């Protein structure tokens, strides 16, 4: 293998690594170039004029995953349909220019139609590649975040997945409206009270109001209301899981992503009788890009 440039280019940031011929990372850098901030045509230009030079990447072959393959990014890359394994994904790599290929997102059957992801598939297949034993049997993989993804993986193939807007609900409710608060979600006890208050995951619009009434009644300190809200939303998502993916309480969930957020999910899962294991999302993304550069096993 030659050296290559690996990029996870999402909505808010671009993370880039130069990977040497021996597979070791020789340089890495993060750029505030999330596709949400870019004008049409800007991604390609800034990648060539800023990102490659900043990493002395010259004209190294590059593989890019994430929202860079969407209408907001460099160019729209067609989705690959589930069920899909790493080789299927590698076949869908899209040549954006002579040196750069973009990883396709995944599309699968979802609630009321198709569900889609762009970027999480690369983390997911990277997580599988990090331990080849994972390519056998069944796994449930969760990527917490603004739009959390829950995927069912069987024998190395993503069978289907579902997206929950839990992170976005938390963002908009904690920034606007009656539950607005500057307090960080750092009260573990209030968080777990929220997880319990989620019940079986229904009646969310009514349950959310309890984040207000508990404060009014003096049962919840105002500065803990954000933690309670976070627990209520994540608890509601977890309680919905058996209906969303036909999985049973007690199964092990692999959490891929930001350490702090994965930590809250792990607490909520454990509290509700699931088993959770947390893995670093960046390392998984890098491993996925490396596996794709190697040809995806095809």
Tokens 């170039």 sit on residue: 33
Q: How far is the CB of 46 from its own copies (least distance, A)?
A: 23
Q: Which two tokens stand for residue 239?
A: 């309680």
Cβ at position 180, least distance to its own copies in Å = 10
User: 100 or 224, CB closer to its own copies?
Assistant: 224
Contacts of 214-223 with CB under 8 Å at 24 or more apart are 220/190, 220/193, 221/187, 221/190, 222/181, 222/183, 223/181, 223/183, 223/187
Count the alpha carbons within 13 Å of 109 in the hemisphere toward its beta carbon.
5
* C-alpha 243: how far from chain center: 21
Q: How far is the CB of 237 from its own copies (least distance, A)?
A: 5
| Residues paired with residue 254 on neighbouring β-strands, in sequence order | 141, 277
How far apart are the C-alpha atoms of 71 and 93, rounded to whole Å? 16
Residue-wise burial string across 15-38, b where 16 or more C-beta atoms lie within 10 A, e elsewhere: bbbbbeeeeeeeeeeebebbbeeb
> Which is nearer to its own copies, 39 or 217 (by Cβ)?
217
Q: How far is the CB of 16 from its own copies (least distance, A)?
A: 25
Minimum CB distance to its own copies, residue 55 (Å) = 30
Nearer to its own copies, 60 or 72 (CB): 72
Nearer to its own copies, 122 or 193 (CB): 193
For the CB of residue 50, give the shortest distance to its own copies in the complex, in Å. Answer: 27
> Whose Cβ is closer to its own copies: residue 24's or residue 176's?
176
Helix (H, G, I), strand (E, B) or coil at 206: helix
Angle at 134 between CA 133 and CA 136, to 5 degrees: 80
Specify whether the CB–CB gap between 52 and 58 falls below 8 A.
Answer: yes
Given the complex with its own copies, which of 100 and 163 has the nearer CB atom? 163
CB of 88 to its own copies, least distance (A): 20
Q: Report phi then psi at 157, rounded to 5.
A: -115, 135
- Between 203 and 259, CB nearer to its own copies: 203
Chain contacts with its own copies (rule: CB under 8 A) = 110-116, 147, 162-166, 168-169, 171-173, 175-178, 197, 200-210, 213-214, 216-217, 219, 233, 236-237, 240, 243-244
């Amino acid at each position: 293998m030659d050296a290559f440039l690996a990029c996870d280019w999402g909505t808010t940031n671009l993370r880039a690594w130069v990977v040497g011929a021996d597979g070791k990372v020789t340089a890495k850098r993060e750029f505030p170039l999330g596709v949400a901030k870019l004008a049409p045509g800007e991604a390609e230009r800034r990648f060539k004029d800023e990102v490659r030079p900043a990493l002395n990447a010259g004209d190294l072959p590059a593989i890019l995953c994430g929202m860079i393959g969407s209408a907001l990014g460099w160019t729209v890359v067609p989705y690959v349909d589930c069920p899909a394994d790493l080789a299927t994904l590698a076949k869908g790599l899209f040549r954006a220019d002579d040196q750069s290929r973009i990883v396709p997102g995944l599309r699968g059957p979802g609630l009321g139609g198709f569900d889609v992801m762009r970027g999480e598939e690369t983390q997911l297949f990277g997580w599988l590649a990090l331990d080849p034993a994972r390519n056998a049997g069944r796994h449930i993989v969760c990527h917490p975040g603004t739009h959390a993804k829950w995927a069912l993986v069987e024998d190395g193939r993503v069978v289907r997945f579902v997206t929950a807007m839990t992170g976005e609900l938390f963002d908009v409710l904690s920034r606007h409206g009656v539950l607005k608060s500057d307090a960080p979600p750092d009260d573990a006890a209030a968080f777990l009270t929220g997880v319990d208050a989620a019940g079986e995951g229904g009646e969310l619009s009514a349950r959310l109001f309890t984040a207000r009434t508990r404060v009014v009644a003096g049962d919840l300190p105002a500065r803990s209301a954000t933690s309670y809200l976070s627990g209520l939303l994540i608890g509601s998502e977890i309680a919905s899981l058996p209906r969303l993916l036909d999985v049973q309480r007690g199964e092990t969930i692999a959490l891929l992503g930001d350490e702090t957020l994965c930590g809250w999910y792990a607490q909520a899962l454990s509290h509700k009788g699931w088993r959770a294991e947390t893995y670093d999302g960046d390392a998984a993304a890098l491993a996925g890009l490396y596996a794709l550069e190697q040809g995806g096993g095809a």
